[in-house]
Amino acid sequence: MPDTADILRLESLQVHFPIQGGLFDRVLGRPAGAVRAVDGIDLNIGRGEIVALVGESGSGKTTVGRVITKLAQPTGGKLLFEGRDMTAERGSSALRPYRHRVQMIFQDAYQALNPRHTVFDIVAEPLRSLRLVKNNAQLTERVSEALAAAGLNPPDDFFARFPHELSGGQRQRVVIAGALAVRPELIVADEPVSMLDVSIRAQILQVLVDLRAKHSMALLFITHDLPLAWLIADRIAVLYLGKLVEIGTADEITFNPCHPYTVALRNATPQVGANAGRAELPALQGEVPSAARVPKGCRFHPRCPLAFDRCRQEEPPAIEVGPQHLSACWLAK
């Protein structure tokens, strides 16, 4: 996809959280380390494109989402929106135009809704704070429209309800309605269906897919579920310990994975592409190391069945293995 079509770009994005050393360390001036939650990520999202960010727990997915939605400040690298550097922008009024165009859907809808606000107030909040409506009639109209688009019908049945008076699926729809109300161009969805019943998941996913079709809205879909990513996304980026190990079209990553980690991830979910793809590898061994102690060399080498000497010393760069398909592995051709 050409650069001009990108709505968002991350350039060597880095988020390190300092570790508070004990008193002893501080007195001795010993440097306390850092949690390298995100450790140099390059990612672009095209206009109207759905990109899935896949990775295990603790790989830094949420942190990437929080940087994009300006909830976390990166310690390095850049966040570019339509080519404009947003990395240093701060303050609710300065960020208003950005917030108008970039919204977020949260994993736990129950936590994301203020228990003392009604559904109407929740969905109206962005319209009020971003000053997108002129009067109450317009406000009511936009709130109804957003609730309906999120699948809550008839909308005015829900206006006066509190979050605890809704089902889990309805709550997630309210969160989605709040994000939709401002008609954003990019939505970051952080595991939007992982807390929901399987029966409701499909409906919620349908809402998200419809949005792209109707309003050509871009979506960064964060998930730990590779088959789900394949189902919804145009491209998939695989994250391991704060670094992208492989990125490519959804079909390539699912049926023709190149990086040993992606292969192992796919093997862990037998229903998709069980017989397709390259060399079969044994299932993943061991735990994900802590982001506070990232292994030297290729960060996957302690768990990689194919690891060899070079992997323990040098970190592999992203190597192009096909059109739009990059893999950070010394074995990538």
Partner 1 sequence: MSESTVRYSPRGRARAIKGFLRQFLSYGSAQVGLVCLVFFLVVAAVPNILVGPLQTAINATGDFLVPPSGQHLLGTDEVGRDVLNLVVHGARISLMIALLSTVISLVVGTTIGMTAGYYGGRVDVWLMRLTDFFFVMPSFVLALVITPVVLEVMGRGGEILGFRPSLFVILVVIGMTSWAFVARIVRSQTLSLKERTFIDRARVVGSSNFNIMVRHILPNLVPQIAANGALVVAGAIYVETSLSFLGLGDPLQPSWGTLLSLAQRAGAASAGAWWYLGAPGVCVLTVSLSFVLIGNALDDTFNPRRRVIP
Chain-centroid distance, C-alpha 300: 21
CB neighbour burial string for 173-207, b if at least 16 within 10 angstroms, e if fewer:
bbbbbbbbbbbbbbbbbbbbbebbeeebbeebbeb
Q: Considering only residues 14, 44, 63, 256, which one is a binding residue for ligand ATP as defined by CB under 6 A?
A: 63
Residue showing tokens 């919204």 = 103
Look at residue 300 and give the partner it binds from ligand ATP, ligand SF4, partner 1, none, a contact being a CB closer than 5 to 8 Å depending on partner kind.
ligand SF4
Q: Is the torsion defined by CA of 31, 37, 42, 45 positive or negative? A: negative
Q: Considering only residues 17, 98, 110, 162, which one is a binding residue for ligand ATP as defined by CB under 6 A?
A: 17
74 binds ligand ATP (CB under 6 A): no
Look at residue 100 and give the partner it binds from ligand ATP, partner 1, Mg ion, none, a contact being a CB closer than 5 to 8 Å depending on partner kind.
partner 1
CB 222 within 8 A of CB 191: yes
Q: Considering only residues 4, 57, 199, 271, which one is a binding residue for ligand ATP as defined by CB under 6 A?
A: 57
User: Pattern of binders to Mg ion over 60-79, x per CB under 5 A?
Assistant: --x-----------------
SS3 246: strand
Q: Considering only residues 100, 101, 212, 224, which one is a binding residue for partner 1 as defined by CB under 8 A?
A: 100
* Cross-strand bridge partners of residue 149: none
- Distance CA(207)–CA(176), nearest Å, equals 9
207 binds partner 1 (CB under 8 A): no
Written as six digits, the tokens of 227 are: 């088959």
Total number of residues that touch ligand ATP (CB under 6 A) = 13
- Distance CA(51)–CA(229), nearest Å, equals 8
Q: Considering only residues 72, 306, 318, 319, which one is a binding residue for ligand SF4 as defined by CB under 6 A?
A: 306
CB 203 within 8 A of CB 151: yes
Q: Which one of 12-20, 111-119, 214-222, 325-333 is the stretch in contact with partner 1 (CB under 8 A)?
A: 111-119
**Within positions 245 to 274, which residues make up the interface with ligand SF4, using CB under 6 A?**
259-260
- Distance CA(198)–CA(205), nearest Å, equals 11
* CB-based contacts of 71, cutoff 8 Å, min separation 6: none
CB neighbour burial string for 104-139, b if at least 16 within 10 angstroms, e if fewer:
bbbbebeebbeeeebbbebbbebbeebebbeeeeeb
Q: Which one of 39-47, 54-62, 97-105, 141-149 is the stretch in contact with Mg ion (CB under 5 A)?
A: 54-62
User: Pattern of binders to ligand ATP over 207-246, x per CB under 6 A?
Assistant: -----------------x----------------------
CB 201, min distance to ligand ATP, A: 17
Widest CA span in the chain: 68
CB 300 within 8 A of CB 243: no
User: Which residues here bind Mg ion, judged by CB under 5 A?
Assistant: 62
Interface with ligand SF4 by CB under 6 A: which residues?
259-260, 298, 300-301, 304, 306-307, 311, 316, 329-331
Summarize as ranges the residues that interact with partner 1 (CB under 8 A): 66, 69-71, 92-93, 95-96, 99-100, 103-104, 106, 108, 111-118, 120, 125-126, 129-130, 151-153, 156-162, 165, 167, 169-170, 175, 178-179, 182
